[in-house]
Structure 1
Amino acid sequence: MSDAIRLDHVGVAVRSIAAARGFYELMGFEVGAAEEIAHEAVRVAMVPMDGSRVELIEATAEDSVIGRFVARRGEGVHHLAVRVDGVDAEFERLRAAGVRMASENVKVGAGGHRYFFVHPESTGGVLMEVVGE
């Protein structure tokens, strides 16, 4: 694996960040402040873990992607996120290679990071978020 790509975070869909944070704090982790991402209709809080993070994701609308996910499947792992150098170039490279994208373009998310999603059909069944500069 290239040094230019690494696990950034695991996204976990929860009904309530306030309720979920109790477990992580009990384990000794510090849960960051919740941040709202209006265009995704979610609130997120990061839990740093040894160079990576768990992203707790709470829907702010029942008809959002996360709201529908929790209603259909319950709480749990929603996606894996990898960090790359040059997120725009990686978006174009994957699309040109015929990878099915779940995002139409690169967006700005929590903490100002830039990201896009790759459809599970192209990744062996796992929704993959690609983040970077």
Structure 2
Amino acid sequence: MKAGIHASTAPVAVGRYPHARRVGNLLFLSGIGPRDPLDNHVPGQQLDSDGRVLGYDIGAQTHAVMANVRAVLDASGARWQQLVDVTVFLTDMQRDFSAYNQVWAEYFPDPASAPCRTTVGIDALPTPIAIELKCIAVLDEAN
């Protein structure tokens, strides 16, 4: 088992864990959210003066989380096409599933070659975000 992988182009982890860990030819990514790696803001999110979420754009957050997943894959020597399983956590399934699913289709236009996917509705995530992805990739021997 290789040491944890930290991607300098992905947001800093909100806890004591690596962005990813390789075990054999499998790459396990920790939960990845949409925070911007440069300034930690959440794209498309509006906050009040106390930091409470007033509103958000699930499309903007979905694009941002995809960029962050790609950054971790790149830092791990993996490619987008090597993703085989993705668990998606949404804090408002009723409101956000359709828009998130449209953005998903931009990244994976061919369902036959897309990773397997499970989408779960949850009450909250550790930070005020609306989406988080947990991914597994299969690496080539060369990775």
TM-score (norm. length: structure 2): 0.24
If asked which structure has higher relative contact order (CA below 8 Å, sep 6+), I would say 2
Q: TM-score, normalised by structure 1?
A: 0.25
